[in-house]
Structure 1
């Protein structure tokens, strides 16, 4: 049997990158999956295009290729109503929800005092309000089901250290740690565990696919930092997915309130 055999997971931001990798990795180990993404651009303040409907469906097909079932739902994590639609899809299609992977995230670059209000708001709304909305949608039903479960929120090495020049991103990723810590205490009586994962720079995301690390380091401060990681200049999506898999599985049944780093040593270096 797989490590999450018979479980159902909901993964946000799943049309590409880490979210796609998480969905496929969970399916490989036996989970059925609901995948969501916004599937359109949401702000001119973001310096890259967001994923498409076609990419979300590609993720769903990759999940199905493992032999597991998958439902794709176009949904914006900034809307609790749309998150409830995704949760309802899990209820209607699979009859349960065991794991929530609140993965959707965005970032932009700029000194804190030069950021526009929109630049601040879109990062905070997706990265911090988004996980809260996903939790608001999923947790009542998970509590009602009485089967426990796991909530995994994507933070960052920037959720531990004071990375620059993207204070809004750093603040949002610190914020989800506080959210996780509070939720881990609130939900412990219901046997629902809550943890964060903290990657360093990740290759093959929507921003980085096919770009050499040297070029990334030259144009992106995040990867300039990552290039100095003790173990490796960056990690791959599957490395993060293996941490997500562990936290979703019963192997971590007593693990809650954890900041799980997958960062090639970046947050521990002097």
Structure 2
């Protein structure tokens, strides 16, 4: 028996990294997966390798390899109608929706006054507006199912402790906290819990293969330390553990769970 037998989870940003790991673990525990990822370069100003359609196909293969069922499509969280149709088709196939993991996001670097307009608006549109569209598409489906459930929104430690050269990213991640707090209050009577997780560095392409991140740490390193030099980067399993906990913690809503090696406290 799996922890999520018979349940259905919708995960954005599923092609690799945290999203892929969440999908595999939920599938291993019995859940059916509805997933999406843009699986392409979102913007010219991002400086880490983008996910690809091959990555998305590999996620599907890995989910099926552990015995899971999955409906995954390539698309953009900024496209509300795409998300609505994906969820409608997913519920038709799997019968319900119990959990949402709003994981998709992008990062860019630059001083506040030197960023291009695209560097600011693209990140806000993907991270904040795109997540709002995920909730707008998913919440009515959850309410119609009448099973309660949970929503976990992936924010960042930059949404608790603003970081230099991350104006758009920090603004978007602070915004996700407000979005989650509002939704938690609105959905409490419907037995749907809403929480956020706040990672620091995670062992993903976005976390470790960003060429501009190295420069940022060199120039602004005093703002980026953690308390755990022996464990500088979280694993994707660390994040999935947090998502699993919040997806099952019946007494927790409106919380902000920091997976940050103490970085927000220094």
TM-score bracket for the superposition, by shorter chain length: over 0.9
The CA distance in 1 between the partners of 2:9 and 2:221, in whole Å, is: 34
Unpaired runs of at least 5, structure 1? none
Q: Post-superposition, which runs of at least 4 consecutive aligned residues in structure 1 deviate over 6 A?
A: none
Match for residue 217 of structure 2?
221
Alignment of 1:1-12 (within 5 A): 1-12=1-12
In structure 2, the CA distance between the partners of 1:98 and 1:224, relative to structure 1 (3 Å rule), is farther
- Alpha-carbon separation, structure 2, partners of 1:94 and 1:106: 30
C-alpha contact (below 8 Å) 1:128/1:175 kept by paired residues: yes
Superposition pairs of residues 168-187 of structure 1, within 5 angstroms: 168-187=168-187
CA–CA distance in structure 2, aligned partners of residues 35 and 264 of structure 1: 29
1:155–1:33 distance in 2 versus 1, CA, 3 Å: same
SS in 2 for 1:112: coil
2:95 is the alignment partner of 1:95 = yes
235 and 227 in structure 1: CA distance in 2 versus 1, 3 angstrom threshold? farther
Q: Let me know the Cα RMSD of the aligned residues.
A: 2.0
Aligned positions of 1:7-18 closer than 5 A = 7-18=7-18
1:57 corresponds in structure 2 to: 57
In the alignment, which residue of structure 2 is the partner of 1:242? 241
Look up the match of 2:128: 128
- The structural deviation recorded for 1:153 is 0.5
Q: How many residues are treated as equivalent by the alignment?
A: 263
After TM superposition, the structure 1 = structure 2 runs for residues 100-249 of structure 1, keeping only pairs within 5 Å, are: 100-206=100-206, 208=208, 218-221=214-217, 224=221, 228-231=225-228, 232-249=231-248
Task: Report how far residue 39 of structure 1 moved.
Answer: 1.8
TM-score (norm 2): 0.93
SS in 1 for 2:263: coil
C-alpha contact 2:224 2:263 (8 A) present in aligned 1:
no
Q: Which residue of 1 aligns with 2:262?
A: 265
- TM-score, normalised to structure 1's length? 0.91
Distance 1:32 1:120, change over 3 A: same
SS of the residue corresponding to residue 267 of structure 1 reads: helix
Structure 2: give runs of 5+ residues left out of the alignment.
none
